[in-house]
Amino acid sequence: AGVAHAESHSGAVAPEDVQYGETGAVATSLSGMPGDAANGQVVFSTKSMGNCVSCHAVAQLTDVPFQGEVGPELTWSGESRSEEELRGIVANAKMSFDGTVMPAFYKTNGYIRPGNGYTGKAAEGDLPPILTAQQVEDVVAFLLTLKEQ
């Protein structure tokens, strides 16, 4: 419910209206606002939010134990990827990498047996995307800070 509220004002792009380029990149901010890298780091590392760290290791996150290795290490994302590419990958990685294991974080439908969070029970009505438009922007801002020091 909090999500719907956050998306209802300002210039946020709804999940179904996101324009993906040919290689899956997304040109403009989903929230219409710049991202906050510090908050993006929290989203990245928190299970109930992005939980990205369960699959990806990031050398700069020295105080986060047990980083995953299902996806590639992201220690250099700020150098190897553009903001537009990163936004597209976080919003819906399936547009960049066909059939990838990586979940889509800014999508609301097309799921098989969607659940209500981690309860194991059926979702009630349409699911909000896993991350809000602003949280996607925040994670992208965080990823852009990841460079070899």
Partner 1 sequence: AAFAGGADDDVLVINGEIEMTTKADAPAHLDGALDQVISGWHFRADETQQLETDDFENQGMIFVDQAIDQWNTAAGSEGKSCADCHGAPEDNMAMVTATYPKYDSDAGELQTVQMQMNECRTERMGADPWKYDSGAAVNMEALIASVGRGTPVQVAIDGDAAPYYEQGKEMYYTRYGQLELSCANCHEENFGNYIRADHLSQGQINGFPTYRLKNAKLNGVQSRFKGCIRDTRAETFSPGSDEFVALELYVKSRGNGLSVEGPSVRN
Is residue 103 involved in binding ligand HEC (CB under 6 A)? yes
Is residue 81 involved in binding ligand HEC (CB under 6 A)? yes
List the single partner that 73 binds among ligand HEC, partner 1, none, CB under 5 to 8 Å by kind: partner 1
9 versus 113: smaller Cβ distance to ligand HEC:
113
Interface pick for partner 1 out of 23, 32, 72, 145 (rule CB under 8 A): 72
List the single partner that 123 binds among partner 1, ligand HEC, none, CB under 5 to 8 Å by kind: partner 1
**CA–CA gap between residue 121 and residue 54 (Å, rounded):** 23
Burial class for 4, CB neighbours closer than 10 Å (0-12, 13-18, 19+): exposed
List the single partner that 5 binds among partner 1, ligand HEC, none, CB under 5 to 8 Å by kind: none
Q: Which residues of 104-130 are buried (b: 16+ CB within 10 A; e: fewer)?
A: bbbbbeeeeeeeeeeeeeeeeeebbbb
